[in-house]
Structure 1
Amino acid sequence: MNTQQIIDAIDLTDTVEELVEAKNFTGIVEAVTPLSTEQVTALLERLPIEQRAIVYRLLPKDNAIEVFERFSPALQRDLIQGLRDGEVATIFSDLDPDDRVWLLDELPAALAPRLLHGLSTKDRQLTSEVLGYPKGSVGRRMTPEYVSTRTDATVGEALQRVHAQLDDAETVYTLPVLDGSRHLIGVVSLRDLLRSASEVGISEIMQDVSAMTAYETAEAAARRCAELGFLALPIVDREDRLVGMLTIDDAARILEHEETEDAARQGGVEPLRRPYLATPVRSLVSSRIVWLLVLAIGATLTVQVLSVFEATLEQVTVLALFMPLMIGTGGNTGNQAATTVTRALALGDVRPKDVWKVLLRELGVGMSLGALLGLLGGVVTTVIYDPSVGLIIGLTLLAVCTMAATIGGIMPMIARALRADPAVFSNPFISTFVDAAGLIVYFMIAQAVLHL
């Protein structure tokens, strides 16, 4: 599916909206039927909630389930609110257990028991197993529907199990190898099974495996799955017994969700969890207003600093001209460091215990940047004004860059150590703190140089 095909589907939005308004259901079917699943998903994401439910009802059942699975959990919740109970029960029963849990995490608590009650005994048991793990853990995102084999089995016996469970299993490309107590011993790929003779023992072709416990974070497991290039990552309990598999498509979905969340919070907003045009205006407002209030309160620190050094400004008014430079340079330097370290934490390049290494590196980076900017700023200011002002600007840029880079580098690591989201402690808070601290440094250097 290329970008142009998605654009073509989106271009139908106005046409479909007009057909819905006119209650021309035949026209809607004719417009939507030629579209692929990806195109239908892109189209529905742009429709208002009420119209989305109407168009969704007109989709063929198989296509409807595929489209529903492509929606974000928040969009799935919105759609369910516009469907009848019978339609909701059908959709819910057709989902995989891990996808049901994604949805249940979004739905009102009172609705979850009703949906679970409508499942078959087997489906309810599988879903309850996944629901039993803590929120945010990989146990809540794994699938319990997989095909396993035994160490004492043959290739032929393993392939028979694959054929027998082909319709029920969510993944068959990687088979975990278990002992008699369901402890994970290794894995064997479907490719290796197909190219081996049926009488060959599984123990002869299986490979060692890297597994994660069900209680570790979903993000950590998803990154491990992606880094190792696994089609499915085995998930075990605390006794190394296999309890599920994290598939690569679910890993990609988790990483997309986490990176979207981090990017939003680094920009001072809460993640939308829906496509932009499918997000109500009130949700856009609520995602931004809290951060704006927090930052506005933080900005009062800057006002307080200016009031303390008001007399200094009155004596040397030229200092006011360079305040935006100091504030901007410090904020940008801190944000650069915070963004770099937050990303390194997410990728596993650094860990909270590396805080001193990061501090020393960012201290060196900040001093180097400050020296270069300070030299340039000091020379230019000396030429335009006088040497004393140039010295103030040069020394302040050196100090502010060093301080901002160091603080920006260690704050995300402190946040991770406190089990908080590093993105929350990144750009917005660092900018506010560095603005106030930078001005204090600026005026203190000015007072020292000018003997005020």
Structure 2
Amino acid sequence: MTDSLDERITRSRTLLSDHDLAGLADLLSDLREHEVTRLLERLDADDRAVLFRLIEKDTALGVFESLDPPLRGELVDALRDDHVVALFEDLDPDDRVELLDELPASVARRLLSGLSDGERTLTAPMLGYPRGSVGRRMSPEYVRLRPDTTAAEALAAVRRDGRDAATVHVLPVADDTLVCTGSVTLGDVATAEPGVRVGDFVADAPTVTATTDAEVAARLCLEYRTAAVVVTDSERRVLGVLTVDTAARILEDAEDEDAARAGGSEPLRRPYLSTPVGTLVRSRVVWLLVLAVSAVLTVQVLEIFEDTLSAVVTLALFIPLLTGTGGNTGSQAATTVTRALAVGDVRTRDLGRVLFREVRVGASMGALLGALGFVVAGLVYDWHLGLVIGATLLAVCTIAAAVGGVMPLCAKAIGVDPAVFSTPFISTFCDATGLIVYFTIASAILDI
């Protein structure tokens, strides 16, 4: 088909309103799997359920797995039939657990009770790990090798069990008690002599415990550039693997969350056009209320220095410049340090080093901007006012960079998402402190 996605959506809505199910089935049969997924993401919950029933069975599972977890939850709630139970059975255990987190408890129990014994055995232990831990995102389906397994036997095991495994590119090696001794890659096994034992070329494997934060485990997987990280219990017994594609999805979700909170809202965790208006409002209004209340600080500062403003009205012209510069400087520092925290470049114990570095960065930028402000304000107005602007820019940039760099580390230390203290709060803080610095310097230099 050559129609655009928007045209297909329009056609599907027309067919839905006409109750033309045959036409809808024809429309879906002409689309590839990823196109069907994008189409469903743009529809409301009821229409999505109708179209999903018309998808061919071979395509339905792939489309279902491609949907964001909240959309899967809505779809399960809308369908409520044996078709859903069959889809749930066919999901990988980690996808199954992620879906259960989005469902009402009653629906989750019903789906779990409908699982086969084997799939329930794989899924139930994962639900016992804390939310946000890698234990809930790992796959318990993997090919395990023993140290005394030969290369030929290992290849046979991959051919026998690899179809159901999350990955065959990394093969955990463990003894009969499941204690991990390392891992081998499929390439290692395929290129080894058939009679060589796996234990002779096993390598140390990057491992994480099941209670490790999923984002930390995901970054470890990408840091080692490996197809999977082995997940163990506290006694190094193998429980499963975290694959690189799951790790990438975890980090993508984390970055979306950080970006949303840095912008003063909560992450949607679903496509924008399929998000109800009420959900959009709830994701933003709380932050707006918090920021509105915190902005009262700025008003209070202006009220305190009302006499200074009355004496030199020209000072009011530079308030947007100074507050904007301070807020932007603080936000830049906070964003940089938050990113460094996320990738493990800095730790909370590095607070002193970060503070010293950001003070130097802020002072350097403040000196450049201050010199420019001094010259421009001096030429346009007078040199005393230029000196006020220059000195304020130097002080504001230094303070804002220092505060912006330190706040994410403080947030991390007390267990709060560092992104929360990024743009919104730091901008408000820098506005208030910048005005205090501005009027203090003005009062001293202009003698008012």
Shorter-chain TM-score bucket reads: over 0.9
Equivalence for 2:215: 219
Counterparts of 1:42-191 in structure 2 under 5 Å?
Answer: 42-191=38-187
| Distance in 2 (alpha carbons) for counterparts of 1:230 and 1:11 | 41
| Equivalent in the alignment of 2:12 | 16
Q: Which amino acid aligns with 1:117?
A: S
CA distance in 2, matches of 1:17, 1:351: 52
1:212 alignment partner, SS class: strand
The 5 Å alignment of 1:37-436 reads 37-436=33-432
Distance 1:36 1:228 in 2: 34
2:129 match: secondary structure? coil
Deviations 1:33-59 (A, max 9, x none): 122211111111111111111111111
- Residue 10 of structure 1 contacts residue 42 of structure 1 at CA under 8 Å; is this kept in 2? no
TM-aligned CA deviation for residue 303 of structure 1:
0.5
Structure 1 residues 15-24 or 355-364, which shifts more? 15-24
The runs of at least 4 aligned residues of structure 1 exceeding 6 Å deviation read none
Q: CA RMSD in A?
A: 1.4
Distance 2:415 2:118 in 1: 36
User: What's 1:451 paired with?
Assistant: 447
Q: Deviations over 1:59-118 (max 9, x none)?
A: 112211111111111111121121123222111111111111101111112222211111
Q: What is the one-letter code of the residue matched to 1:218?
A: A
1: CA distance between counterparts of 2:223 and 2:323?
Answer: 39
What displacement does 1:211 show?
Answer: 0.9
One-letter identity of the residue aligned with 1:245: V
Normalising to structure 2: TM-score of the pair? Answer: 0.97
Q: Is the 8 A contact 1:338 1:427 kept in 2?
A: yes
Query: Which residue type is aligned with residue 74 of structure 1?
Result: P
8 Å contact 1:9–1:35 — kept in the other structure? no
* CA deviations over 1:172-228 (Å, ceiling 9, x no partner): 221101123211111111122222232121122322211111111100111111121
* CA distance in structure 1 between the partners assigned to 2:16 and 2:245 by the alignment: 34
Asked whether the equivalents of residues 77 and 106 of structure 1 are also in contact (C-alpha less than 8 Å), the reply is yes
What secondary structure sits across from 2:184 in the alignment? strand
- Runs of 5+ consecutive residues of structure 2 not aligned to the other structure: none
Structure 1 residue 10 displacement after superposition: 4.7
Percent identical? 54
Structure 1, unaligned runs of 5 or more: none
**What is the TM-score with the length of structure 1 in the denominator?**
0.97
Contact 2:266–2:284 (CA<8 Å) still a contact in 1? Answer: yes
Give the partner amino acid of 1:87: H
Q: How far off is 1:160 after superposition? A: 2.1
SS of 2:172 mapped into structure 1: strand
CA distance in 2, matches of 1:164, 1:192: 18
State which drifts further: 311-320 or 103-112.
103-112
- Tell me the distance in 2 between the aligned counterparts of 1:164 and 1:81: 36
Q: Contact 1:13–1:46 (CA<8 Å) still a contact in 2?
A: yes
Structure 1 residues 147-171: Cα deviation after superposition (integer angstroms, max 9, x where no partner): 1100011012212222222333222
The structure-2 alpha-carbon separation of the partners of 1:34 and 1:205, relative to structure 1 and needing over 3 Å to count, comes to farther
Q: Kindly indicate whether the alpha-carbon contact (under 8 Å) linking 1:268 and 1:428 is maintained by their aligned counterparts in 2.
A: yes
